[in-house]
Amino acid sequence: GAFVLVAGCVGILPDGTYPRDLAGQTARCLERIEEALVAFGCSLDQLVRIRIYTTRIDQWAEIASVMGPRFARTRPANAMVGVSSLIDERALIEIEADAWAPAAERR
């Protein structure tokens, strides 16, 4: 088996802009993580650990409103950390995710 590790995922859109709100950026992060996992033959259901960094820790419930329903079945281990800034000042959230992928394509 193998792990697929996705790091440094912010909620940037294909046109280089960001959703204005934390929930929108969180949802976009998950889309980007899913795209990366699919490239290795995996899905979000195979995530075993998630680390969330946010500049808006006081708005953690907004993040949870996106993450909770998506992971209601699988419940990967997770941590949320408040930070003073991220790599792009427009980013409100960054997510790292680890998936267990026994049949992952090696790259």
- Tens digit of pLDDT at every position of the chain (107 positions): 689 999 999 999 999 999 999 999 999 999 999 999 999 889 999 999 999 999 999 999 999 999 999 998 999 999 999 999 999 999 999 999 999 987 655 55
Does the pTM exceed 0.85? Answer: yes
- What is the DSSP pairing of strand 47-54 with strand 77-82? parallel
Domain covering 3-100 in this structure, CATH number: 3.30.1330.40
User: What is the token pair recorded at 105?
Assistant: 């394509």
Give the whole-angstrom CA distance, residue 10 versus residue 72. Answer: 22
Burial class (CB in 10 A: 0-12, 13-18, 19+), 23: buried
Question: How many alpha carbons fall within 13 Å on the CB side of residue 5?
Answer: 3
